[in-house]
Amino acid sequence: MEPPFWWLIIWLAQAARARPDYIGLVARAGAVAVSWFLFILLAALTLGGALGVVVTRNVVHAALALLVSLLAVAGVYLILFAEFLALVQVLIYGGAIIIVLLFAIMLTRSAEYPRITDNRQWPLAVVAALGLLAVLSAAFLTNPLPDDGPHSPAFTDLATYLFTRWAIPFEIASLVLLVALIGAIVIARSGADEV
């Protein structure tokens, strides 16, 4: 059985024998094909996880679908050579935020869930989402992206900005998350006392 693109494989092999600099071209083309395939796969996982968050009626399943989506975004960051962002995505969002979300779900009263799962405003949400998709698609299609090639920031520059310029906003965000977690515990404990 012949491969589907047998003529392309034969042509590239002959070109590689005739001119050795084509070997680098073939290697680059293979790397681009693998990157493109991984991007499509990770984009499908991201969109599938996001769709799972919206469609499912079980909040725990929605949190797990969100985890799948966030981990796929971390994979996209790896393809873009942003290793630090991928690490932060996995540790902060994939780990800490999902754990806090599941912890808050487990602490709240589950008797309220049947009343809040059905929302009559979902057609409005669909219209708003389609409008946002149209605006983002128009912006993406009218402004082509520059093809600069992959590059990642130096970790020293990133650390300098994180611990000098962005230290206070980072601490404020952590305090807001801490207050939200303490509030969830207080609400859950006061509900347990009433029962």
User: What's the N-to-C CA distance of the chain in angstroms?
Assistant: 70
Give residue-wise pLDDT tens across range 27-39: 566 667 788 889 9
Count structural domains, the chain: 1
- Chain length of the chain: 195
Residue 172 placed within a domain: yes
Each residue's pLDDT tens digit, 127-143: 998 999 999 999 989 98
Q: Is residue 162 part of a domain?
A: yes
Average pLDDT over residues 18-34: 60
Assess if residue 62 is contained within a domain: no
**Which structural domain range is residue 162 located in?**
153-195
Task: From residue 129, give the alpha-carbon distance in Å to each of 92, 154, 155.
Answer: 26, 36, 36
Question: What's the pLDDT band for 84 if we cut at 50, 70, 90?
Answer: confident
